[in-house]
A and B are shown apart, each in its own frame.
Chain A
Amino acid sequence: MRIQVKRTGGFAGIDRHAEVDTTARPDAQEWHALAERAEAEGRGTPPVGVPDGFSYQITIDGRTVYCSDPRLTDDQRTLITRVLKEGS
């Protein structure tokens, strides 16, 4: 599974993106479950965010959902944090 996260906006207005390919990972199952939950809770169109809030685009094997700070679900927040931290 290929999980991509794109973050845009924020006070600095600087984009960040990262992706994780779970294929060779020992914890792939965990990633898949988290990604599926985050995707199910996402929206098909970008929600309107708050001033200076981050907006996120999560793409899982080519399917894209959107979410924005501060209204992220716990799973979305966990997934985003992990991909931006561990991804390349």
Chain B
Amino acid sequence: MTANPTGFEPVFCTIVPPVVLDRLAQSSDPALAKAARRTLQRDAYERTQRRLTTVIGAPSVAAPKGAEEGKPHRTIHDAKHRTDLPGRKVRGEGDKPGKDATVNRAYAGLGATFEVFFKHFERDSIDGGGLPLNATVHYGEDYGNAFWNGEQMVFGDGDREIFLDFTIPVDVIGHELTHGVVQYTANLTYFGQPGALNESMADVFGSLIKQYTLGQTADQADWLIGAGLLAERVTGKALRSMKEPGTAYDDDVLGKDPQPADMDHYVRTGRDNGGVHINSGIPNRAFYLVAEALGGHAWERAGQIWYAVLTGGELAQDASFTDFAKLTVAAARAKYGDGDELKAVLDAWAQVKVPTA
């Protein structure tokens, strides 16, 4: 985003309202349409960048008074089925559980996520500097989704037809928080392969948080994302399977789980930001294979290798699967030498057909 390769600077940049630019972008005059389109693209891009730098460049939000290092600073808000964020504060750090199970689950899930990152990855909160953790529950009406908006987590109650409450699976809570960690570290672009890596990171750490809360080893874990989220009438066990991508659900309404299990079946698509929730199946399975080969708690060795790559500073924002795979090989070697870990990583990527050399 420095030089303009064409040398042509659209004169209406930032002055003309987006609606007019949109109309110009559809103009029959190609020069006009092209310039307008470029402005719109840049505008969208810069707005995102601004949002990212605001968060990344800013000094960490001050921890509340009396806060201790190594303790989370959680606040849960209730949107009361509206969409204004963050909504009304319903539970702060240290407050006793209330009557609302959704609020209590969100609070506990944030705590578990904080604990895993702090205890096992020596990371103090999302930004590594004790950032307060904010979540909003009961977002929108029949809202079947959860997301990370760049600053906080947002959870819907589901429509009850297909999705239940998004705070039910702790891995979903861990997933959303991990998007925050990714934003503060490698900041992988949310499109195509880097986007699928961003999604995969969120699934990997989301699953580790679930395994940690259940005290499971790699062979005991179900490696499912979103188990317990699907309504009873849906034919499926979860939304994604890291162990067997493509097998999580097969339903009349939802269709079949579209995740590929290896690079030969990589899905090229424009939908879902270039298939970020689809192709994440490939790096997800690679992680599962490493964890399964090494045995024990998956956050101990497999998780350490993945985390080292995420936070090591060499993972580019636009990294491909191959770029990522190569860095995991290097990280395994650097951390553990020429041993089981290195072999497990090489074998895993070979199985999902992502080259590492």
B276 CB contacts on chain A under 8 angstroms? 9, 13
CB distance from B224 to the nearest CB of A (A): 13
A55 CB contacts on chain B under 8 angstroms? 273
A 44-56 to B, binary, CB cutoff 8 A, 1 in contact else 0: 1111111111110
Interface residues of A in 24-40 (CB under 8 A from B): 40
A46 CB contacts on chain B under 8 angstroms? 44
Q: A50-B147, A53-B147 are in contact. Are A81 and B47 (CB under 8 A)?
A: no
Number of interface residues of B (CB under 8 A): 49
Which of these, B21, B83, B226, contacts A11 with CB under 8 Å?
B226
B23 CB contacts on chain A under 8 angstroms? 44
Which of these, A15, A48, A81, contacts B272 with CB under 8 Å?
A15
CB distance from B166 to the nearest CB of A (A): 7
Answer yes or no: B332 CB below 8 A from chain A CBs: no
Q: Are B198 and A70 in touch, CB under 8 angstroms? A: no
A49 CB contacts on chain B under 8 angstroms? 190, 273
Which of these, A14, A45, A51, contacts B255 with CB under 8 Å?
A14
Interface residues of B in 177-212 (CB under 8 A from A): 179, 182-183, 190, 198-199, 202
Which of these, A13, A14, A44, A48, contacts B22 with CB under 8 Å?
A44
Number of interface residues of A (CB under 8 A): 30
Q: A12-B226, A45-B25 are in contact. Are A77 and B148 (CB under 8 A)?
A: no
Answer yes or no: A22 CB below 8 A from chain B CBs: no
B48 CB contacts on chain A under 8 angstroms? 48
Q: Are A43 and B40 in touch, CB under 8 angstroms? A: yes
CB distance from B189 to the nearest CB of A (A): 9
Answer yes or no: B237 CB below 8 A from chain A CBs: no
The closest CB in chain A to the CB of B202 belongs to A51
CB distance from A48 to the nearest CB of B (A): 4
Q: A13-B277, A44-B22, A44-B25 are in contact. Are A52 and B147 (CB under 8 A)?
A: yes
Q: Are B148 and A12 in touch, CB under 8 angstroms? A: no
Q: A44-B22, A50-B150, A53-B149 are in contact. Are A9 and B273 (CB under 8 A)?
A: yes
The closest CB in chain B to the CB of A54 belongs to B145
Q: Are B148 and A51 in touch, CB under 8 angstroms? A: yes
Q: Are B144 and A52 in touch, CB under 8 angstroms? A: no
Q: Are A65 and B147 in touch, CB under 8 angstroms? A: no
The closest CB in chain B to the CB of A69 belongs to B147
A65 CB contacts on chain B under 8 angstroms? 22
Q: Are A48 and B147 in touch, CB under 8 angstroms? A: no
Q: A48-B48, A50-B148 are in contact. Are A12 and B83 (CB under 8 A)?
A: no
Q: A50-B150, A70-B149 are in contact. Are A12 and B22 (CB under 8 A)?
A: no
A12 CB contacts on chain B under 8 angstroms? 144-145, 163, 226, 239, 277
The closest CB in chain B to the CB of A45 belongs to B40
CB distance from A82 to the nearest CB of B (A): 11
How far is B182's CA from A57's CA once the two chains are assembled, in angstroms?
27
Sample 16 A-B pairs with CB under 8 A, ordered by A number: A10-B145, A10-B277, A11-B226, A12-B163, A13-B258, A13-B277, A13-B278, A45-B44, A50-B190, A51-B179, A51-B183, A51-B198, A53-B145, A54-B147, A70-B85, A72-B83
Show the binding face of A for B, using Cβ within 8 Å: 8-15, 40-55, 65, 69-70, 72, 77, 81
Known: A8-B273, A50-B150, A70-B85. 5 other contacts (CB 8 A): A8-B272, A40-B19, A52-B176, A65-B22, A69-B147
Q: Which 5 A-B pairs have the closest CB atoms?
A: A13-B277, A44-B22, A52-B147, A51-B179, A48-B48
